[in-house]
Every structure is written in C-alpha cells, then in structure tokens.
Amino acid sequence: MTKQSSIYQSVKLSKDSSIKIEDSLVIEAPLQININNEAYTVVMRTPGSDEALIKGLLFAEDICKKNEDLKLSVVKTKEDYSTIINADIAKEKLGKGYLNKRTLLSISSCGICGKKELKDLKVAGNTLKRKDTVCIKSFIETTIFMFLKMKELQKTFKVTGGSHACAIFNKKNELLTIQEDIGRHNAVDKCVGDLISNSQLKEAKYMLVSGRVSYEIVSKAFLAKIPFIIAVSACSSLAVDFAKEFGICLIGFSRGDKMTVYANPQFLV
C-alpha cells in the first residue's frame, strides 16, 4: 500500500503544559498530468490510486469517458511523492473538455489546481524574519478570543453550515478582515484582497482559517508576509515543510485552550 501519512515532530500546547510529540500528518504532494506527452495540469493529492484519480478527473472534465481509450504511464516519481503521469489518448477520442484547458471542478477547494507543471509550484521570496516572540499563555488566550470573534461573524456558516472562513488580525489582536467562501483558498484570497484594497496588508500578523491547512494556504500567507497561521483542523505534510522553510509559525487543531505547533515553535516562549 502506498504510504499516505508521515511522522512529524510538533509541540502540543495548553495553558498548563508544552509537550513535544510525534504526529502523523496526511501527505500532500503534486501530481502532474500530461496528455499526449504535453503538460496539462497539476493537482495536489495524497499518494495512492493515482490512476483512478486521473481517470475520474478526465471523466468529470469530459476529456476521456471510456477506459479503453486511455493508456496511463508513469513518467517520473520522486521520494517526496511528486509524480508525473502521461495520459495517452488518441486525438479523435479527446472530449470537448480538453479544449477548455482547465475548468477543473475542484478549483474552489484546491488553490493549486490549474498549474501546468511541477516547476510552477515554486514560490519566490526571502524567509520571513521574526524580531519578537509571543508568550504562550497570552497567545492561547488571544487565540481563543480571535476564534470566538471569527465564529461570531461567520454569518454564511450560521445559515448554511457549508462555508469556510478566514480572518486576519493585527499585532494588537484587532480584526482587520473576515471573509467566507465555499473554498478555503478563496476565503484567504478574499481576505488578502480586502486588506490590499484598504492598504492594511502590512498590518496583518495572524491568519485564522476554519478548516485544514495545505500547501496553498501557507504560500498565500507567505506572499502576504503573514507570520502566523492558526487552523481549527489539521495541517498537511507539505504545509508544514513550506512553513518551516518560509519562517511561518504554523498551528493546527486549535480548539479552546489546546493547539499543536507544527512549524517554528521558537516564536512562542
């Protein structure tokens, strides 16, 4: 069976304790799909059943409806589970969806979908430099306050139960913006865009998200120079890897007075 999780060192925090633990995180890695030896798109996925994923995606996108019209072959795979697979489909068998050059159905929940090649995933910029640290006890209290504020203002979620939220606060723990969307990444983009519109992006310090954190959300926070990401749910393996590289303090499973720090715990003392 293909490995689908990895062990990461992390720190579990509460008001009364700080414990180093080993945590299992779901693996997130890019899969580049070529069609007839030309790069078509990249999707982020958990390794395993890649051929089934491609067949299902091409079916949904009206690119190839019949199994017998499709031949898949692995072009390259690496130790970090990034993989390139070519789909060989006769030109006369290509469906109308191929001409759209990506109208991927999952775009609202996968911010990376639509990239064509693995090299497109690189994010340029210098590691964020921290000049100050935050007291653990006060940080936990602040986080509880910020999540309560975010929850209070999630109007769409209260009505539907089906939207994600992102909220961004400044160093004084003041709410700068909150946005909701069906897609986690869209909510983040809306928040950053709102701050740009109001010339407040430089004030952003804490990004809170209602769901899990994957590679794309960490990249968006890095580009916006936001040093803290705090999530209600889990973090993917690639999110942790990039947060460490980018100098972002990444926190998951923030619920009440408990949370798990996956990257750069030295910012909390």
Point out the residues that are catalytic. 110
Q: Are the beta carbons of 57 and 45 closer than 8 angstroms? A: no
Q: Residue 57: which of 72, 75, 74, 78 has the closest Cα?
A: 72
Whole-angstrom CA distances from 17 to 33, 113, 173, 260 are 46, 40, 23, 12
Question: H helices within the chain, ranges in order?
Answer: 50-60, 136-152, 155-160, 184-197, 215-223, 237-246
Q: Report d(CA 227, CA 189) in Å as an integer.
A: 16
Q: Provide the 3-class DSSP secondary structure of residue 243.
A: helix
